[in-house]
Amino acid sequence: MPEKTSQHRSSVWQADAVSIVLLVVFVLVVFGLESLLDPTFTNTTLLLTGVILAVVPAAIWIAFFYRRDRLEPEPKSMVFQVFLLGGLLAAAVGIPLVDNVFQVSEWLYDTFWTQLLGGILVIGFTQEFLKYAAVRWSVYKSEEFDEPVDGIIYATAAGLGYATVLNVAFVVGSGGVDLGTGVIRITVTALAHASFAGVVGYFLGREKFGAPPVWNTALGVTLAAVLNGVFFYLRNTLTQGGLSAAGGEAQRWLGFALAAVLAAVVTALLATAISRQLATQGESQ
């Protein structure tokens, strides 16, 4: 079993790493196609194309995850249900709370401090708590949640569901998006939310299969919320203010690079943390 578990873990990390690379390729392909074909859209086709693009990052992750997660696979339906639950919680609670109750667009960008504190306390905590809830009160008690890495898998699915709804809402709210700019924003959102959710999932896995202190998972949600707030503050700061078209383009790519690095670093850190946790558990048994 330990060998199988080890293979299982490494297949999950490989799936994550390949998904990140594929998302980078996806962005480059869409950019290339837009430059080569210079397509013309009607309002309807622009909207539909945007919605399809919004779903692609989650589809890539799920497809690759299914292919790699063969040794001890999580039930496809369960992963998909958590993905849907993440999306539903975003649509039913997260977006209305942030946009309508807190009306963040009215005050968040006022000063450095409001942007950072509001980003962490309102947006970060709302989003990360809902991803936590999507796992904690659904699959967490299931027998399928049978090793620490499952926390990361299910939470990532919830995070991607959340990101997909955010992206679709953005596309629909904007009446469609420019392909190049839109695909970067969509991919950044997906990579970032999957990464933050991975952090929450790691702490949930630790809670279920270790004996951590009672504040363990609260620490995980807080850490993810802080990462969320700081990341989007940095992304907004890096990507705004480009006066020339070339400058604006470069800043968008900078934001994208930041998200890809975040996803890669979080994946690597979580892989190391899970390995250490299992090694510690192995020694104590």
**Residues whose CB is less than 8 angstroms from the CB of residue 129 and which lie 6 or more positions away in sequence, other chains included:** 221, 225
- Judged by CB under 8 A, the residue of 64, 65, 83, 132 near another protein is 132
CB of 211 to another protein, least distance (A): 6
When asked if residue 122 is in the footprint of another protein (CB under 8 A), the reply is yes
Which of 43, 105 has the CB closer to another protein? 105
- Give the integer Cα–Cα distance in Å for 77 and 82: 9
Burial 17-44 (b: 16+ CB within 10 A, else e): bbbbebbbebbeebbeebeeeeeeeeee
142: amino acid identity, one letter: S
Q: Which amino acid is at 83?
A: F
Single residue of 45, 103, 237, 280 touching another protein by CB under 8 A? 103
Distances from the Cα of 224 to the Cαs of 123, 168, 246, 284, in angstroms?
11, 23, 33, 29
**Which listed residue (118, 148, 161, 255) binds another protein by CB under 8 A?**
118
Q: Nearest approach, Cβ of 125 to another protein (angstroms)?
A: 4
* Residue 7: closest CA among 73, 75, 76, 78: 73
**Nearest residue (CB) to another protein, 61 versus 125:** 125
Give me the least distance between CB of 70 and another protein, in Å please: 30
Residues 32-91 interacting with another protein (rule: CB under 8 A)? none
CA 79, chain centre distance (Å): 15
- Cα separation of 144 and 73, whole Å? 9
Hey, how many other C-beta atoms are within 10 angstroms of the C-beta on 254? 14
The tokens for 134 are: 């999507």
Amino acid, single-letter form, for residue 7:
Q
Size of site (CB under 8 A) for another protein: 33
The answer to whether 175 touches 43, Cβ cutoff 8 Å, is: yes
Per CB under 8 A, which of residues 202..241 are in contact with another protein?
207-208, 211, 214-218, 221-222, 225
Q: How far is the CB of 191 from another protein (least distance, A)?
A: 24
Q: How many CB atoms lie within 10 A of CB 47?
A: 17
**Distance in Å, CB of 244 to another protein, minimum:** 16
Nearest C-alpha neighbor of 198 from the set 216, 224, 229: 224
Q: In angstroms, what is the minimal distance from the CB of 38 to another protein?
A: 27
Stretch that binds another protein, among 15-23, 82-90, 125-133, 185-193 (CB under 8 A): 125-133
Q: Which stretch binds another protein (CB under 8 A): 20-28, 84-92, 118-126, 245-253?
A: 118-126
> Residue 227 CB, nearest distance to another protein (Å)?
14
Residue with Cβ nearer another protein (106 or 143): 106
Dig out the tokens for 38 from the structure.
């210079």
| Interacting residues with another protein (CB under 8 A) | 102-104, 106-111, 113-114, 117-118, 120-122, 124-126, 129, 132, 136, 207-208, 211, 214-218, 221-222, 225
